[in-house]
């Protein structure tokens, strides 16, 4: 079990640059989630995929953010024209619903610092 | 907004049982309660979940009240490595799990 992998673990960028994060979920999981976490706060939901379909997006996901899961396997989260307020930990999680329970397995996160 | 209420912080003694409370008074009949914890700078780690019955695994026990409006996570013998932020979570909307600010638990030697 390789768990959920996220890459890169750390990214420092200048304001206005584009960044992309990748998430590789657990292979048999059909659901994939992106969350964002700022200092002192709990994770906040951004978006969710079931297989390749993006089924829900938070209002936190502005038009500068885009997420894809092209073949229902790995996912990417791109932030265009980064702002200092985008500095946060971006967490990916995957799950397989069983008996009505939806247990998410999280990756270690990708920490973004926008200068 | 999260649908659960937890104390913002608590201390517990190493080697003793730690009882972490959570209120979820608006939970619906078919919603599970999930517990996660997060150690500094790491992703949240799943602990346990339950629906109606009490549950136990190698990490913890979960006690759910009969009316399902509250639950308690029990760490039977707290160690220093159990120091973390603990989140009690129920489903929000169709498929998302909504985290609040959690309960910062500090295990004291």
Instruction: Quick: pLDDT tens for B16-40.
Output: 999 999 999 988 878 899 999 999 8
Q: Are A31 and A49 in contact (CB under 8 A)?
A: yes
Q: What is the pLDDT of residues A58-75, one digit of tens each?
A: 988 889 999 999 888 999
Can you tell me the mean pLDDT for B82-106? 89
The residue with greater pLDDT, A102 or B64, is B64
Q: Is the pLDDT of residue A99 over 80?
A: no
Distance from the Cα of B48 to chain A's closest Cα (Å) equals: 9
Inter-residue contact B99 to B4 (CB < 8 Å): no
Cβ–Cβ gap A100/B93 under 8 Å = no
Q: What are φ and ψ of residue A33, in 5° steps?
A: -125, 150
Task: Tell me how far CA of residue A19 lies from CA of A38, A57, A85, B19, in angstroms.
Answer: 17, 19, 14, 42
CA-CA distance, B34 to A83, in Å (whole number)? 33
Q: Above 70 in pLDDT, residue B1?
A: no
Model pLDDT, residue A1: 55
CA distance A21 to B94: 25
Q: How far is Cα B96 from Cα A13, in angstroms, rounded to an integer?
A: 30
Task: Determine, for residues B32 and A102 on separate chains, whether the beta-carbon distance falls below 8 Å.
Answer: yes
Contact between chains at A101 and B91 (C-beta distance less than 8 A): no
How many A-B residue pairs are in contact by the CB < 8 A criterion? 62
Nearest neighbour of A45 by CB, restricted to B87, B96, B101: B96
Residue B46, min C-alpha distance to chain A (Å): 7
Please state, rounded to an integer, the average pLDDT across all residues of chain A: 93
Region B84-88 average pLDDT: 97
Q: Are strands A19-24 and A5-7 parallel, antiparallel or unpaired?
A: antiparallel
Q: How many CA atoms lie within 13 A of B57 on its CB side?
A: 8
Backbone angles phi, psi at B52, to 5 degrees: -130, -40
Give the percent of chain A with pLDDT over 90.
Answer: 79
Contact between chains at B42 and A56 (C-beta distance less than 8 A): no
Residue B3, pLDDT score = 85
Nearest CB among A48, A107, A108 relative to B96 is that of A48
Give the position of tokens 């013998």: B77
> Which pLDDT score is estimated for B10?
97
Cβ(A7)–Cβ(A110) below 8 Å: yes
Among A47-51, B67-71, B89-93, the least confident range: B89-93
What's the pLDDT score for residue B2?
A: 56
Q: What's the mean pLDDT in B55-61?
A: 96
Strands of chain B, DSSP E: 9-13, 18-23, 33-38, 45-50, 55-56, 61-64, 70-75, 84-92, 96-97, 103-108
For A32-37, what is the mean pLDDT?
96
């Amino acid at each position: 079990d390789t768990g959920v992998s996220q890459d890169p673990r750390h990214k420092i960028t200048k304001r206005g640059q584009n960044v992309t994060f990748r998430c590789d979920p657990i292979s048999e999981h059909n659901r994939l989630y992106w969350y964002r976490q700022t200092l002192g706060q709990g994770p906040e939901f951004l978006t969710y995929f079931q297989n390749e379909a993006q089924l829900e997006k938070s209002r936190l996901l502005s038009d500068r953010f885009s997420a894809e899961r092209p073949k229902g396997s790995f996912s990417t989260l791109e932030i265009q024209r980064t702002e200092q307020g985008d500095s946060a930990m971006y967490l990916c999680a995957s799950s397989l619903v069983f008996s009505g329970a939806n247990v998410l397995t999280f990756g270690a996160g990708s920490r973004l610092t926008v200068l | 907004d999260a649908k659960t209420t937890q104390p913002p912080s608590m201390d517990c003694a190493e080697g003793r049982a730690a009882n972490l409370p959570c209120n979820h008074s608006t939970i619906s009949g078919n919603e599970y309660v999930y517990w996660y914890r997060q150690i500094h700078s790491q992703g949240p780690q799943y602990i346990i979940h339950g629906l109606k019955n009490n549950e136990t695994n190698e990490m913890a026990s979960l006690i759910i009240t009969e009316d399902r409006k509250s639950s308690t996570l029990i760490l039977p013998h707290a160690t220093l490595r159990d120091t973390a932020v603990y989140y009690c979570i129920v489903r929000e909307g169709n498929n998302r799990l909504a985290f609040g600010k959690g309960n910062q638990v500090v295990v004291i030697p």
